């Protein structure tokens, strides 16, 4: 399964090469050309397969980011443990005792902290001070650690993909579904033919400021753009009757706005009308939070109509996430059919 391969690949922001190679292998028979730009974005082009109508956009860009949150090694302690900094937004409360892999050699390690027996009441009742965390790779000295790891090595969570339930939702767990799920959706979209040139852009460094998308959008200069994401989910039981942001198993998530962009109203109508016409379940993201590649793409050149479509994902920006493969399939269907409906132009 491609999603499994992508999920287990190592690709912290700035180190996306392994993910890019998997994707390029998966799309090589469905694209006409590709290039890798200076920031590492993989820009794939699928030429129009039929004559477009007068109002059909000539160039449509769909982006999904390859990078994941993680860490980078910044130094060594005398006891052989490793100092590190976060890459992307990570809540320190999810880090304690988590297994990780360090560097290209995939050196196994554990994020260490003092045991609760030795914590003060204040420490036990607050988030950990991440500056006091260290990665333990089993080395007993600074010199021993330096033989295994280098400063600047990237660190990823050691998490394996697994199918949890084969029922209607077909839930799976793994790491980096934000946004390897979007990458896998984009690979599927390239299997169809469209009445415009489709630019499938697998972007870099989204988690540290939408950097790859800024460069790619300037180069492609699209007429219309979509961003694909794995988005926040908040559907676990609550003490109060509060609407969840999104729910696993309730279909693709359409974002009308987030902290980085406001969706184009014509594209929102296109997605909703397509979903209703084909009886595809869908939901809105009921929180103006986070940011996506749309935040960079919509500002390119003279402005680009953008919208983000996502898969509801529990526990994003954490060592392990969960999503529904049924939601995945519906997302492919919704975006593909909406793209085909663009032949009539935006209304």
Which of the residues are catalytic? 206
**Which residues make Cβ contacts (< 8 Å) with residue 282, sequence separation at least 6?**
251, 252, 253, 254, 271, 272, 275, 330, 334
Q: Is the peptide bond before 179 cis (omega within 30 degrees of 0)?
A: yes
Q: Is 127 helix (H, G, I), strand (E, B) or coil?
A: coil
- Asked if 215 and 41 touch (Cβ cutoff 8 Å), the reply is yes
DSSP string across 269-325: HHHHHHHHHTT---EE--S-----THHHHTTSTT---EEEEEEEEBTTTSS-EEEEH
Q: How far is CA 82 from CA 91, 152, 275, 285, in A?
A: 19, 11, 50, 39
Buried b (16+ CB within 10 A) or exposed e, 69-105: bbbbbeebeeebbbebebbbebebebbeebebbbbee
């Amino acid at each position: 399964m491609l999603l499994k391969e992508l999920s287990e690949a190592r690709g912290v922001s700035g180190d996306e090469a392994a993910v890019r190679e998997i994707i390029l292998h998966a799309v090589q028979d469905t694209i006409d050309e590709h290039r890798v730009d200076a920031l590492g974005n993989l820009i794939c082009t699928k030429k129009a397969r039929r004559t477009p109508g007068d109002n059909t956009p000539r160039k449509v860009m769909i982006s999904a980011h390859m990078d994941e949150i993680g860490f980078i090694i910044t130094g060594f302690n005398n006891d052989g443990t490793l100092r590190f900094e976060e890459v992307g937004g990570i809540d320190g409360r999810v880090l304690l005792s988590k297994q990780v892999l360090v560097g290209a050699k995939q050196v196994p390690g554990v994020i260490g902290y003092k045991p609760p027996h030795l914590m003060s009441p204040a420490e036990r009742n607050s988030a950990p001070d991440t500056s006091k965390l260290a990665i333990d790779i089993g080395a007993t000295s600074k010199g021993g650690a330096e033989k295994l790891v280098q400063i600047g090595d990237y660190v990823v969570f050691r998490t394996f993909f697994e199918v949890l339930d084969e029922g209607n939702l077909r839930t799976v767990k793994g790491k980096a579904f934000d946004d390897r799920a979007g990458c896998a959706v984009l690979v599927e979209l390239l299997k169809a033919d469209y009445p415009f040139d489709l630019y499938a852009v697998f972007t870099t460094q989204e988690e540290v400021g939408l950097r790859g998308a800024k460069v790619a959008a300037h180069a492609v200069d699209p007429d219309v753009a979509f961003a694909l994401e794995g988005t926040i989910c908040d559907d676990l039981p609550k003490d109060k009757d509060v609407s969840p942001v999104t729910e696993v198993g309730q279909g693709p998530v359409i974002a009308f706005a987030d902290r980085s962009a406001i969706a184009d109203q014509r594209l929102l109508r296109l997605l909703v009308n397509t979903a209703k016409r084909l009886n595809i379940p869908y939901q809105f993201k009921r929180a103006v939070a986070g940011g996506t590649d749309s935040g960079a793409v919509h500002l390119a050149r003279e402005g680009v109509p953008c919208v983000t479509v996502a898969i509801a994902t529990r526990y994003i920006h954490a060592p392990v996430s969960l999503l529904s493969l049924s939601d995945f399939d519906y997302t492919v269907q919704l975006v593909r059919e909406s793209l085909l409906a663009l032949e009539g132009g935006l209304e």
